[in-house]
């Protein structure tokens, strides 16, 4: 699959058509889906109709994404297509409206080919929690692609589409990006509208971008970023030209490294790859400085209190009354509620709802939820102090390469610890990006993560682009279109 700029420019110049690009993506999606299970819905008729509309426009130069095929995570609303969130409780629900990001992509000329598989309600780090079966990692079909945006990451890694949208509540864009060897960008909280994103943790959720190239992530962010009157949490902050800064020199930029975060629990090959990436940035002229994030060690505990509390509240709306799945043979309303939620939700979602209800309950709110919010404030302050010394903080994206299916699914704590480097960005609201930085001895991708101050996406993209240009991951996964 070509990059966005090459694909779009060819369509604008008349060297190819949006239909040809769309058919190529659709054919690849249909051919590989039996192996990958990356898509829950492939909309051939709708995509070809949309491509015809793009081709019919006489003037395409004002369409920054003219004819570019996209895949969309199945918790982002697209009118006329399913939005199941990987759950039986929503099933074949079709929303009557588009998410704001979808309207902006369509206005920019893009073509949506389908909805991608994900952990149920975006709760998971391996895509094993989907009610419709796990997504397979294109690099090794016996291994997880990461979660919860595993379908979007796999679709990009396998070359089906150049770019896809996912959501990131605790690393659900960056973590699968690292395990699948692609770029994963989580913007600052409030940079991209959440209107039309099915809520998991409202103070943590953010729509993000998965792409093969940093330049593609920048092009998509340019389109979807900005204030939205439908989402009061979006900020009225100017959106810079992200692509304009990509090729600027990174010499003199300061990259912070917390050596404590490279200690216990990090796979030796991940640590070695990160150390090499630090040296690569030195070679590019960046300055490496030591930083301290003393409260990062509490991040997992804080995250799984706040996220589950918000999930408990947000998922209360799925009761079988208004839309989605409704249990049969329930003689009374209360019994219908109980059976619907018992049969409709999977075990991980039930676990998080119960945890969230517990920490919000009388007698435990102050001890757990309130305390977690106080530590969250301390974590934000840690980042504020760190960014006084540096322009970005570099960490691993994940502590290990992709693990085998079944390896951690029965041990929730081991699974949760896989997000140890990513949840901090969501708790603090800062932007982050994952960039491939090498392969393990098993030929599995390893990702580095860059975190920056609020609204610093342009600088993060610049740093990521410099690294990808200097140290590209030229290997391809075993399953590739």
2, 73, 115, 408: the active-site residue: 73
Q: Catalytic annotation on 87?
A: no
110, 149, 167, 172: the active-site residue: 172
Across 360-379, b (16+ Cβ under 10 Å) vs e yields: beeeeeeebbebbeebbeeb
Q: Catalytic annotation on 215?
A: no
Residues 21/68, Cβ–Cβ less than 8 Å: yes
Pairing of strands 254-257, 392-396: parallel
Widest CA span in the chain: 70
Q: H or E element: which one contains 336?
A: helix 333-344
Q: Catalytic annotation on 73?
A: yes
Phi, psi for residue 474 in degrees, rounded to 5: -80, -15
Instruction: List the beta strands (DSSP E) in 214-308.
Output: 254-257, 287-290
**What single DSSP character describes residue 137?**
B
84, 125, 148, 243: the active-site residue: 148
Phi, psi for residue 357 in degrees, rounded to 5: -65, -40
Spatial CB neighbours of 316, under 8 Å, sequence gap ≥ 6 = none
Nearest-angstrom CA–CA distance, 343 and 225: 38
Across 45-75, b (16+ Cβ under 10 Å) vs e yields: ebbbebbeebbeeeebeebbbbbbbbbbbbb
Nearest-angstrom CA–CA distance, 89 and 419: 26
Using CB atoms within 10 A of its CB, is residue 329 exposed (0-12), middle (13-18) or buried (19+)?
Answer: exposed
Spatial CB neighbours of 305, under 8 Å, sequence gap ≥ 6 = 355, 359, 368, 369, 372
Active site residues: 73, 148, 172
């Amino acid at each position: 699959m070509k990059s966005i700029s090459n694909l779009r420019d060819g369509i604008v110049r008349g060297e190819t058509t949006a239909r040809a690009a769309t058919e190529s993506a659709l054919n690849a999606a249909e051919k590989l889906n039996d192996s990958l299970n990356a898509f829950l819905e492939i909309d051939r008729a709708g995509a070809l109709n949309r491509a015809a509309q793009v081709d019919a426009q006489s003037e395409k130069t004002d369409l920054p994404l003219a004819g570019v095929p996209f895949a969309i995570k199945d918790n982002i609303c697209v009118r006329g297509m399913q939005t199941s969130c990987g759950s039986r409780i929503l099933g074949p629900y079709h929303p009557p409206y588009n998410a704001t990001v979808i309207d902006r992509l369509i206005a920019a000329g893009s073509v949506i080919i389908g909805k991608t598989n994900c952990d149920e309600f975006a709760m998971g780090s391996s895509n094993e929690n989907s009610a419709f079966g796990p997504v397979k990692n294109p690099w090794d079909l016996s291994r997880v692609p990461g979660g919860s945006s595993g379908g979007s990451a796999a679709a990009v890694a396998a070359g089906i589409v150049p770019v896809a949208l996912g959501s990131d509540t605790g690393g659900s864009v960056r973590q699968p990006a690292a395990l699948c060897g692609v770029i994963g960008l989580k913007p600052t909280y409030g940079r991209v509208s959440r209107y039309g994103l099915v809520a998991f943790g409202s103070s943590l959720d953010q729509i993000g971008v998965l792409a093969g190239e940093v330049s593609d992530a920048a092009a998509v962010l340019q389109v979807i970023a900005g204030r939205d009157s439908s989402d009061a949490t979006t900020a009225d902050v100017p959106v810079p030209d992200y692509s304009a800064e990509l090729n600027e020199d990174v010499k003199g930029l300061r990259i912070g490294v917390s050596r404590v975060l490279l200690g216990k629990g990090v796979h030796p090959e991940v640590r070695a790859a990160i150390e090499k990436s630090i040296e690569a940035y030195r070679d590019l002229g960046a300055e490496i400085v030591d930083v301290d994030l003393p409260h990062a060690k509490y991040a997992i505990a804080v995250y799984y209190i706040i996220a589950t509390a918000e999930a408990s509240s947000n998922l209360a709306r799925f009761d079988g009354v208004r839309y989605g799945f409704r249990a049969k043979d329930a003689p009374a309303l209360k019994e219908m509620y109980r059976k619907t939620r018992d049969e409709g939700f999977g075990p991980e979602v039930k676990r998080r709802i119960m945890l969230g209800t517990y920490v919000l309950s009388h007698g435990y709110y102050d001890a757990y939820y309130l305390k977690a919010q106080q530590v969250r404030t301390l974590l934000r302050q840690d980042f504020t102090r760190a960014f006084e010394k540096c322009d970005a903080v570099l960490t691993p994206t994940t502590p290990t390469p992709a693990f085998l299916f079944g390896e951690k699914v029965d041990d929730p704590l081991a699974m949760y610890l896989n997000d140890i480097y990513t949840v901090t960005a969501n708790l603090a609201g800062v932007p982050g990006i994952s960039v491939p930085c090498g392969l393990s001895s098993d030929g599995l991708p390893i990702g580095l993560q860059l975190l920056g101050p609020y609204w610093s996406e342009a600088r993060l993209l610049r740093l990521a682009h410099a690294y990808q240009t200097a140290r590209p991951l030229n290997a391809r996964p075993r399953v590739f279109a």
